[in-house]
Structures are given as C-alpha cells and as structure tokens.
Structure 1
Amino acid sequence: MTELNLHPQAAASLQRWHEMIDQRDLSALPELLAADAVFRSPMAHTPYPGAAVVATILNTVIKVFVDFTYHRQLASDDGLSVVLEFSAKVNGRDLKGIDMIRFDEQGKIVDFEVMVRPMSGLQALGEEMARRVGPYLAAAKG
C-alpha cells in the first residue's frame, strides 16, 4: 500500500487495522473503535450504532470473506478519513467494494461504511451475514 498523508493517530490505527486484516484476527478491534462508532452497511438504510455492534459485524465479515485483498487506499485532505478498495468472494460470488473509514483525532474509528458491487456479490454477502448475525443486528437496531 502507498503512504498516505494521515493524522498521526489515524495512521497508527490504520496500520493496526491492516495488521489485523493480514492476520484475519480482529479480536483487538475494540481498541480502535470509539464508543459511539457506527457501521453503515451496504444492505441497510440506517447505520448500526455502538462499538460492540461494529466489532461484531466486522468480526463476522472477516470470516465470511474468502480471498479478501485490499488493492488501493486514498486519504481525505484532513487526514482523518480513508477509502480502502478491496475484492473478495462470498459463497463463490466475486465482489469488489470499498471501506470508508473515518477516525477522530485520537485515531479511534467513528464511522465505518462499506459499499459493494456487483448486486450478486452484495446479495451473497447479505444472505450470509443475515444467516450468521441477522437476529443480533435486528435487536441492535431495535
């Protein structure tokens, strides 16, 4: 990945994020999340609130994705947001997407938004996530 002009704490958190992704182990993710972090799903209209919910979603997704790889990363001018382009497979369906991550000045993730294409990949992802954590996510929004 190329060097980005990030706020120092955001850069440290992004580096830790990439290390966790490389290890396929997000158990330390709560350390990187602000208490009021939100997750914006490509399948849901409203965000999922709270660090515990964000951690559960991302810990599940990393198990759902096969051959997950980041390709490019871009940073905002203020150095507090990144866009990470990725590809993966879900239940035999190829998909491409982006993770849009916003950090606060302490380097904590405050907003994690995902966009995915094509529709067949998004549907496969949505079905698998619903199977694994659907009731939990419905309760988290309720």
Structure 2
Amino acid sequence: MTQPHSKTELNGLSPVCKNAFARWHEMAASRDLSKVGEIARDDVAFRSPVAHTPYIGREALTLVLSTVIGVFEDFTYHRQFASDDGMSVALEFSAHVGGKELKGADFIRFDEDGLIAEFEVMIRPASGLMALGQAMGAALDGKLDAFKGKQS
C-alpha cells in the first residue's frame, strides 16, 4: 500500500477512482455526506463495526454516514493507503463520541466505474465502539432495519 501526498490525492490510486475519492474528502471535510450516494453503486454494501450483516444500497450508506458525521466530535483523517491494484483505500481516522476517544479505519472498495462498491468501518477501543453504537442506535432508532443484506 502507498501513502499519499495530500488528503485528496493518493499515490497508487487508479485514475478511475480519483474523482470519487476527491469528492469523498470534500464531503467529509464539509461534514455534509448527504450526496455520498452520487459516488456509490446502487447496491453498495456498508459494513458497520456494530452489525453482523451489511446494509445494502445508496440510501443506507447515505443514512449511516450522514448520521455518524453528526455523532462524531473532532473527526480527523490521519493516514490513507491505496491497495496494490489501486481500487481500494484504507483511511485511518480518530474522533470522540460521548466523551470516549476512538480510532478507526474506513476501507473503501471501488468498482471498475470508480463508484464505491463496499464501505467497511472498523473501530477501537471497545469503549469507543460501544459509545458509537449507543449514539448511532439512538440517532437511527431502527431506520436501518430495512437495509440489512444477506451475510457474505
């Protein structure tokens, strides 16, 4: 995996993915993820750190990410890496939720058209993950149930 020169550029990222990657960073920086579906496939899979099965679809991805950006305090990306094939990225971040500090990683896989095909999040430590799960559960209150996909 390669490291970037800037937050919106990433050495080794496939040219087909660069537009979506730059737009992702613009949305994250503005804390407005309401249009994330525009850079994702219709059947994008979102894998949550607190759910066993993925949530499927642009609407689910938009709902989760728009909600979490409001739950996170002091959200910051630190490092980012591209896969050897240039079709996936890993983005390390930190944030606070409910007074708990957390570190995490976003794993984004793009398809051949440069759209997000899969978005997976991992969080540590357990205290930060639990605080995030509680805050997201309260904010979403069952709104994601209709988007649960098949286990893969």
Query: Which category describes the TM-score, using the shorter chain as reference length?
Result: over 0.9
TM-score by length of 1: 0.95
Distance in 1 between residues matched to 2:109 and 2:56, nearest whole Å:
14
User: 2:141 aligns to what SS in structure 1?
Assistant: helix
Corresponding position: 1:18 with 2:22: no
What do residues 55-105 of structure 1 show as CA deviations (whole Å, max 9, x unaligned)? Answer: 100110110101000000011111110000000001111000000000012
Query: 103, 106, 114: which one pairs with 2:113?
Result: 106
TM-score by length of 2: 0.89
- Segments of structure 1 that go 5 or more residues without pairing to the other structure are none
Query: 46, 69, 83: which one pairs with 2:53?
Result: 46
Identity, in percent, stands at 55
Superposition pairs for residues 80-95 of structure 1, below 5 Å? 80-95=87-102
Please provide the CA RMSD for this pair: 1.2
Report deviation, 1:28.
Answer: 1.9
Distance in 2 between residues matched to 1:134 and 1:75, nearest whole Å:
35
Distance in 2 between residues matched to 1:92 and 1:80, nearest whole Å:
35
What do residues 24-70 of structure 1 show as CA deviations (whole Å, max 9, x unaligned)? Answer: 11122111010000100000111111111111001101101010000
Higher helix share: 1
